[in-house]
């Protein structure tokens, strides 16, 4: 049996492919082939797959929607596990229709924007900021994603996660150690399985208006018409990455088809057939120019994996 066939027999339900182009699974539309690409349909299958990788000493990486990821042009040597629509169960716990609060447990694979729309439609507030964020819930927790004054740590009660060794843990909000684009999940390479969140009842019309306003701002200010990985750099303390890049005269700067967006300088876009090497070079050029002008380094928010 090939390694892919072995993994398929281990995870049970779910698809397994060999030499799968990662450009088909990232919002950048960039990336070479993963040796093995797997989509387990159950938590148990995922955990068994992780165990198989550990025993077979095969490297692996977990992705959600691939929205914060740059995969090298030569691909990834090992297994990519995709947690997306295959692990997106949703369970709402409310005592009665007049309850002021609602507890919701969602699978790591649910799309954040879909979840935000669902929560808002039900008349609960606190998740409007997630409207339009293109990642999955698991990825959002890992990075403590946020926008427009909100972030994940404001709504999380606890997270169910599994370690690379197969140990399942339930981590409280405090244990998650959530900070700006960081978490214990990230530091210890844990894998989010599901998230328990709490929201409050609000005015449905006001919530809907806020969601529409944030959606409008995203359309007007972000280059949604181009493939990208969202904000390319983290916000340096005391500064805004996009403003620094713009003030350095780099709006529209490009390396091949990798380009600093002319609409929002904090975004690097794929303006055609950009390669991972071009994007990485552009990011290095931008960091260098910004440092020379302002003595501020830009740390990537986008994760780089694979062989370039």
**Catalytic annotation, residues:** 181, 231, 301
Question: CA–CA separation, 29 vs 285, rounded Å?
Answer: 21
Helices 112-121 and 204-221, axial angle in degrees (round to 10): 150
Q: 3-class SS at 3? A: helix
Dihedral sign computed on CA atoms, order 196, 52, 24, 69: positive
Does residue 140 contact residue 72 with C-beta atoms inside 8 Å?
A: no
Q: How many CB atoms lie within 10 A of CB 70?
A: 25
Helices (H), the chain: 3-11, 43-56, 112-121, 137-143, 173-176, 184-187, 204-221, 241-247, 276-294
Contact 243, 273 (CB under 8 A): no
Query: Rounded distance, CA 64 to CA 269, Å?
Result: 20
Q: Which residues contact 251 (CB under 8 A, 6 or more apart)?
A: 245, 260, 261, 262, 265
């Amino acid at each position: 049996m090939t390694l892919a066939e072995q993994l398929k027999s281990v995870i049970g339900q779910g698809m397994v492919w060999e030499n799968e182009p990662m450009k088909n699974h990232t919002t950048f539309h960039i990336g070479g082939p993963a040796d093995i690409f797997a989509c387990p349909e159950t938590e148990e299958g995922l955990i068994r797959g992780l165990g198989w990788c550990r025993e077979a000493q095969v490297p692996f990486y977990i992705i959600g929607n691939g929205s914060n990821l740059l995969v090298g042009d030569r691909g990834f040597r090992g297994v990519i596990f995709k947690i997306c629509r295959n692990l997106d169960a949703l369970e709402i716990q409310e005592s009665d229709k007049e309850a002021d609060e609602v507890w919701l447990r969602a699978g790591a694979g649910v799309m954040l924007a879909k979840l935000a729309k669902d929560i808002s439609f039900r008349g609960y507030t606190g998740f409007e900021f997630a409207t339009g964020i293109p990642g999955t819930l698991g990825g959002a927790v890992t990075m403590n994603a946020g926008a427009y004054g909100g972030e994940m740590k404001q709504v999380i009660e606890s997270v169910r996660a599994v370690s690379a060794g197969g140990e399942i843990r339930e981590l409280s909000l405090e244990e998650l150690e959530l900070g700006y684009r960081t978490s214990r999940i990230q530091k210890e390479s844990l894998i989010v399985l599901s998230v328990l969140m709490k929201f409050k009842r609000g005015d449905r019309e006001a919530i809907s208006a806020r969601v529409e306003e944030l959606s409008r701002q995203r359309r007007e200010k972000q280059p949604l018409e181009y493939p990208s990985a969202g904000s390319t750099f983290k916000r340096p303390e005391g500064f805004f990455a996009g403003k620094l890049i713009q003030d350095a005269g780099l709006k529209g700067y490009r390396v091949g088809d990798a380009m600093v967006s002319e609409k929002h300088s904090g975004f690097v876009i794929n303006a055609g057939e950009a390669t991972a090497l071009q994007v990485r070079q552009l990011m290095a050029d931008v960091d260098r120019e910004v440092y020379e002008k302002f003595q501020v380094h830009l740390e990537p928010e986008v994760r780089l994996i694979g062989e370039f």
